[in-house]
């Protein structure tokens, strides 16, 4: 799978936010997406998933343009968005949550990741099957949110600050799981993250935007040579 954004332009009302943002993401790769508050990172993910319309540029999945498709068709093609703090059903148990999403995402033939697969990939969820999602720790809620994004046949998961509110050791645990699962199942991810060091540990590529403009794009090894803190 290749996800490519070419010179994306997007905004809200008469406000222009993204100015020709481009990136490419291959199978199993993790793209760390950095930039100061309000730089336009979430806006980029919203444009990729189809929550806002683009005003210029192209989004391609395996060479096919998807920027005019409705969200539903982008989901069917394997794009997933895991929004900040909003990835779980707070009143449902872990098992109910997984069942509801599996029913929707795994009903078609060729479902890559089933209910039992997510329990195998994230065993903590099997142990916590009967627990109400909203009553779990932040780390476990993020594991569940990630599991829900995995159900079906995901190809690229857009992660919006999954570490928010987590203790440092839980961030490391969650990120290690993301790295392991994406690598093993050839799922790619875009990771918006303010915890730079943790994100850098699992990233292959880095992009940085500043006021809606791309200021850096390159492999992790190149990003390690610059002072990333200059962009926050
Ligand atoms: N729904 C909206 N309507 C109007 N303006 C918006 C909307 N959502 C975001 N913006 C504005 O777009 C700009 C970019 O916001 P965005 O959320 O994409 O930034 P970000 O880089 O994700 O920031 P953060 O790291 O704080 O989440 C900001 O100026 C923000 O106020």
Model pLDDT for residues 165-207, shown as the tens digit of each residue: 888 888 998 999 999 999 999 999 999 999 999 999 999 999 9
CB atoms within 10 A of CB 61: 20
In this prediction, residue 86 carries a pLDDT of 73
Number of domains in the chain: 2
Q: What is the pTM of this model?
A: 0.95
The mean per-residue pLDDT over the stretch 146-172 comes to 92
Residues 181, 170: one domain? yes
Coil, helix or strand at residue 189: strand
ipTM score of the complex? Answer: 0.97
Tell me the CA–centroid distance for residue 137 and ligand 1, in Å.
Answer: 27
Ligand 1 pocket: which of 14, 39, 158, 209 to mutate (most atoms within 8 A of CB): 39
Site to probe by mutation for ligand 1, drawn from 8, 19, 33, 42 as the one with most ligand atoms within 8 Å of Cβ, is 42
CA distance 213 to 197: 23
Beta strands in the chain, from DSSP E residues, in sequence order: 2-12, 15-26, 30-34, 56-61, 64-65, 79-82, 156-160, 188-192, 205-210, 213-219
Q: Do residues 166 and 150 share a domain? A: no
With a 6 Å cutoff on the Cβ, whether 232 touches ligand 1 is no
Task: Tell which of 154, 177, 200 closes a domain.
Answer: 154
Task: Find the domain containing 175 and state its range.
Answer: 1-78+155-232
Dump pLDDT digits (tens) for 30-51: 999 999 999 999 999 999 999 9
CA torsion 36-42-47-48 (nearest 10°) is 100
CATH code, domain carrying 161? 3.40.50.300
């Amino acid at each position: 799978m290749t996800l490519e954004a070419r010179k994306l332009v997007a905004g809200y009302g008469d406000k222009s936010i993204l100015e020709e943002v481009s990136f490419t993401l291959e199978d199993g790769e993790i793209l760390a997406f950095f930039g100061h508050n309000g730089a336009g990172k979430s806006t980029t993910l919203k444009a990729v998933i189809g929550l806002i319309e683009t005003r210029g540029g192209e989004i391609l999945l395996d060479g096919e343009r998807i920027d005019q498709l409705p969200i539903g068709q982008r989901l069917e093609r394997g794009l997933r968005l895991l929004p900040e703090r909003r990835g779980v059903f707070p009143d449902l148990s872990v098992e109910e949550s997984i069942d509801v999403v599996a029913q929707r995402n795994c009903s078609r033939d060729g479902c890559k990741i089933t209910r039992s697969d997510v329990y195998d990939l994230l065993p903590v969820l099997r142990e916590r099957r009967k627990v109400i999602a909203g009553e779990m720790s932040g780390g476990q809620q993020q594991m569940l949110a990630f599991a829900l994004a995995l159900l079906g046949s995901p190809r690229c998961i857009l992660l919006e600050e999954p570490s928010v509110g987590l203790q440092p050791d839980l961030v490391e645990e969650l990120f290690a799981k993301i790295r392991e699962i994406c690598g093993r199942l050839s799922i790619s991810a875009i990771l918006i993250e303010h915890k730079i060091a943790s994100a850098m540990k699992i990233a292959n590529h880095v992009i940085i935007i500043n006021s809606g403009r791309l200021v850096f794009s390159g492999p992790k090894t190149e990003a390690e040579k610059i002072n990333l803190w200059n962009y926050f």
